[in-house]
Structures are given as structure tokens and as C-alpha cells.
A and B are shown apart, each in its own frame.
Chain A
């Protein structure tokens, strides 16, 4: 929502572009290899990942511009690695605000300062703040430079027929209705997914009671980029407030609604202004400020049982909805997009059998369930849903004023990359130093470049010491003298998304090649 007199996309600092509908003469109905429904950040990442591997896609979007409001604002280190892999990184690095630290306060006193893991071996900081409209704009810039992606704005999905050999999308745009056959479909159409509804699928899970107003304001300030959480502040007795700094002197303020306070009442402009002013008074900010945008939010942990339905794959919020605490929504969605992107690309190019696609649900739904476990704990601490959880939360906060260990219970458990330990694509090997099979590789500063910058476009065989002679069209070989404390002769087979597929303590060319071949040739 925007202040009275301003339109949905009338921002104080961002100019929303207008995208025309496809021209009348466009060939709308020729079959396409991949249709991606939803040109939000998750859909755009999927299109760019497919294009990176040389595969064409069509992006379908009902709107004529980007999403309104800042929405998702935190990008994790692993998401920056994805942005790097798809060639979209530079504007993100130039604009986003990196951060490593969070502070929690109880009744005005600091009870916790946490620092996320970071070192000179990391190319990227643990977290970056950037408004979603910038995320979409920067991804769109990369898409415009990519001839393999066709985008159809102002094009709405009205139905879908999915079968074993593909799907037919029923679409409508200002020129009329038409059918688009697609071999594969990626549903990136968000929490209210039209495809999910059209296919009669339902998200399942838990709704939390706590609701928040999320408001962006513009205010000149010099407070560093540190996430602040205020528990039981004077401005919101019994409630919780979160404060994030964003680029362009924009602050994101989330404050919890009181019990019995209606969302309609809380989101009236005068009430939002009063709520924001209360928070600013609490933290001692007395400068002039302007209200930019606001919305209301409730925490949910909801997911589909299965992320693949025939030729349709659900990615991002269409597949799962997670609480904002711990910043896992968009980051998880981007990992979904990358995951299915490289797998579909290898199937389409004939380098992999369709069986590779069966790994998408176990890997990415597994990641969702891991997120749920962590985010649910965070959500229960932020908005305790029961007598017991509330009493214990209040006890922990009160204890934290005198016992630092209790303050750690207020740690929001920021997102960590998920390890695909149970994936059919992961070969469980012998235990030893270095990343386990299924894990995202840790980055390392190699002096000239970081390790992740030396990875090949598809699979990479990393060996410590002399490399065995292994030849495969998808394989890049990299030999380093030592890494991760692993013994000389060790070998790591690393996937296009930088997760370890397999590792060995001694590199045998025949075994490595047969492992890669077996992984790809899944029927």
C-alpha cells in the first residue's frame, strides 16, 4: 500500500518501468521447450540459469511492471553465488548493503549481538539488503542481454492441461486468448499460484498467529547495516519489532500487531504512521521521515507434498511459504530456480536422462523442511503461539538481561545452505576432511581468484595433487595442491550449483567417469 494520493507504483525513489504486451504479430503458439510462469525474481533466475546452459525459455507475466514495494530485502551469500553463476552479479554488488551483525534488545536493553560466519576466504558477505524491485530490475537487465529468453508481459494464465509429454498453457493477453504448448513448465507464480490452483493442488502446513505490519520509510541516518530486533519495546508492549537498513536511505520496519488488532485497522495510513513513529521514538530517531510503502504479513510454514507434477515444476513461493524470520523465502526460491534450471537444461540438451529431474523434489523439498525446522523455531520465539512457548520466551528474554547464554535463544538462526545428503544424485562416500557429499562447497581465497570463480560451467572435478585424465563434455578439471585439509589425491565432483556430488580419497579416473555417467544417465 502507498500513502493517500500515490499510486501502487508511485515510489519515492524507484521508477517502475512499463512493459508492453507482446506485439500482435508475434508467433504466440509455436511450442516452446520451457515456459516459466511468473517473471518475479525466482522465475527470472530460472530463465537465466537455463540460458546459461544454452536453453531457450519463455517467461510469462501477468503484470506490466515489477512487483510493487520492497518485499524480500535480504539476499544470502549463497544467493550471491547464484547471481554470479547466472551473470547478473555486478549491479547487486554495487547497490546492495552487506551485513554480518544483528542485535536484539529486550525492553530497551541489548541482550544479544550475533555475528554471522565470515572470513577472508569468503568472496561474499553472509547477507545483503536490497529492495525486491532492485533485485527484479537487475535480473531484468541480465535478461535483456540474453537472446534465449523471450518475455511476454501482460499475459495471464487462465488454465493448464498437463500430460506425460508436456503441457498446454491457456493464456490471454490484450490481443486475445491462445494456447501455448510447452515441453516443461516452471510455476514461479508466487504464493497465490494460478498454476497450483488450476491443477487443484494445495499447500499444507502450519499458520502462526503473529501478524506484522511491514513498512518502508525514507529517513536520513547513519546507523550501520545491522539487523535490530526489539522485544517488548515500550512502543509495542509484549510485541516484537524488526528494523533493517536498505539502500537509498530506506528503512524497513516490521512491527507486530497486538492481540485482537485487525489487519484492516492496523494498515490504515494514520495507524501505520503512528506505529512507525512509535518505533522511531523508541530507537531515538528524531529526523523527518516519509512513508514509502507498507503491507501486512503473517508467518506460515506451508508447502506442497510434491514439487513436480508431470511436466510442471513448482519453484519459489508457489511451492512453499516460509516465515520471514531468518530471510529464507526468496533465497530458498532462488536455489529452487537454479536447481531445476541446470537439470532441465541438461535434459533438453540430451546430456542427461529425465530421471535426473526426479531429484528436484527430494532436494528442494528437503531444503524447505529444513527451513521450516529453523524458521518455525524463530517464528515461535518471535510470536509465541501458546502459553508454554510464550512463558518460556519471556523467561529467556528476562534471563538474558543477566545471563548472556539466554540471549542466544533470541538468535534468529539465519539461513544456511542445505546439504542434499539424501538426494539420489549424491554419492555417499567415506568420511573425511572437506565438504560432505551434498554440501555446498565452502569458498576459499586462492590468491588470484576465489575457488567458486574457478568452477566450470557444468560439473567440475577438483583434485588435490595431480589430476587423473578424465574426459567428459560436461566436466572441467581443476587441480590444487591442497584444500580443506583433505589428503593429497582426494577428488571432489562438484555439480553446476556448486554442491558436492561425490568425493573420493584417491582419484580413480574410471570410477569418477562412471559415477558422473551414472548420475546423468538416469532414465
Chain B
């Protein structure tokens, strides 16, 4: 199994439970908390820059 799969499924479940209106705030909080947990600010910023592409 892809190691990302449980996270993918859990995020989808959270989004379905919270609904469309609360999704942006939830995702922003999740991104910030996960970036902090990464413990590497430069890497987190690189990832955020990449995620801002291809939207």
C-alpha cells in the first residue's frame, strides 16, 4: 500500500465530515501544523511553493 494512502483517506473523511464551507480553514490549519511538525522550515516552504503550482 502507498504510505500516503491512509493520510489521503483520512483527509477525505475529515473534509466530508466538515463540509465545503469549513474546508479551507481546516486545510490551512492542517498544512501549518504539519509543516511545523516537519521540523524543517525551508523544506516546508519549498513544498508549499510546489503545491501552489498546477492549480
Contact B15 A388 (CB under 8 A): yes
Contact B11 A398 (CB under 8 A): no
Contact A403 B50 (CB under 8 A): yes
A519 at the interface (CB under 8 A from B): no
Contact B12 A406 (CB under 8 A): no
A482 at the interface (CB under 8 A from B): no
Chain A proximity mask over B18-53: 1 for CB below 8 Å, otherwise 0: 011001000000000000000000000000001101
Contact B4 A405 (CB under 8 A): yes
Contact A401 B16 (CB under 8 A): no
* Minimal beta-carbon separation of B35 from chain A (angstroms): 15
Q: A387-B23, A392-B11, A396-B8 are in contact. Are A408 and B2 (CB under 8 A)?
A: yes
B7 to chain A: closest residue by CB: A392
Contact A392 B15 (CB under 8 A): yes
Contact B16 A389 (CB under 8 A): yes
* Minimal beta-carbon separation of B8 from chain A (angstroms): 6
Which of A386, A406, A408 is within 8 Å of B16, CB to CB? A386
Contacts of B50 in A (CB 8 A): 402-403
Q: Roughly how many angstroms separate A396 CA and B55 CA in the complex, as a whole number?
A: 11
Contact B16 A388 (CB under 8 A): yes
A409 at the interface (CB under 8 A from B): yes
Contact B12 A392 (CB under 8 A): yes
Chain B proximity mask over A348-391: 1 for CB below 8 Å, otherwise 0: 00000000000000000000000000000000000000111101
Contacts of A402 in B (CB 8 A): 50, 53-54
Which of B3, B5, B8, B19 is within 8 Å of A387, CB to CB? B19
Contacts of A411 in B (CB 8 A): 2
* Minimal beta-carbon separation of B44 from chain A (angstroms): 14
B23 to chain A: closest residue by CB: A391
* Minimal beta-carbon separation of A357 from chain B (angstroms): 34
Q: Roughly how many angstroms separate A408 CA and B1 CA in the complex, as a whole number?
A: 9
A410 to chain B: closest residue by CB: B2
Contacts of B14 in A (CB 8 A): 388
- Total number of residue pairs linking A and B with CB closer than 8 Å: 44
A399 at the interface (CB under 8 A from B): yes
Q: A402-B53, A402-B54 are in contact. Are A389 and B12 (CB under 8 A)?
A: yes
* Minimal beta-carbon separation of A373 from chain B (angstroms): 11
Contact B4 A387 (CB under 8 A): no
Contacts of A386 in B (CB 8 A): 12, 16
Contacts of A398 in B (CB 8 A): 54-55
Contacts of A403 in B (CB 8 A): 50
Q: Roughly how many angstroms separate A422 CA and B8 CA in the complex, as a whole number?
A: 30
Q: A396-B8, A408-B2, A409-B5 are in contact. Are A387 and B54 (CB under 8 A)?
A: no
Contacts of A389 in B (CB 8 A): 12, 16
* Minimal beta-carbon separation of B36 from chain A (angstroms): 20
Contact A408 B4 (CB under 8 A): yes
Scan residues 241-262 of chain A and give those whose CB is less than 8 A from a CB of chain B: none
Contacts of B13 in A (CB 8 A): 388
B18 to chain A: closest residue by CB: A388
Contacts of B2 in A (CB 8 A): 405, 408-409, 411
Contact B15 A391 (CB under 8 A): yes
Q: Roughly how many angstroms separate A398 CA and B12 CA in the complex, as a whole number?
A: 16
Task: Give the A-binding residues of B (Cβ under 8 A).
Answer: 2-5, 8, 11-17, 19-20, 23, 50-51, 53-55
Task: Give the B-binding residues of A (Cβ under 8 A).
Answer: 386-389, 391-392, 396, 398-399, 401-403, 405-406, 408-409, 411
Would you mind naming 30 contact pairs between A and B with Cβ atoms under 8 Å apart? A386-B12, A386-B16, A387-B15, A387-B16, A387-B20, A387-B23, A388-B11, A388-B14, A388-B16, A389-B12, A389-B16, A391-B12, A391-B15, A392-B11, A392-B12, A392-B15, A396-B8, A398-B54, A398-B55, A399-B51, A401-B54, A402-B50, A402-B54, A403-B50, A405-B2, A405-B4, A406-B4, A408-B2, A409-B5, A411-B2
Please name 14 further chain A to chain B contacts, defined as beta carbons within 8 Å, in addition to the given A387-B19, A388-B15, A389-B16, sorted by A numbering. A387-B15, A387-B16, A387-B20, A388-B13, A389-B12, A392-B8, A398-B55, A402-B53, A408-B2, A408-B4, A409-B4, A409-B5, A409-B8, A411-B2
Pairs of residues from A and B, 3 with the lowest C-beta to C-beta distance, nearest first = A388-B15, A388-B16, A388-B12
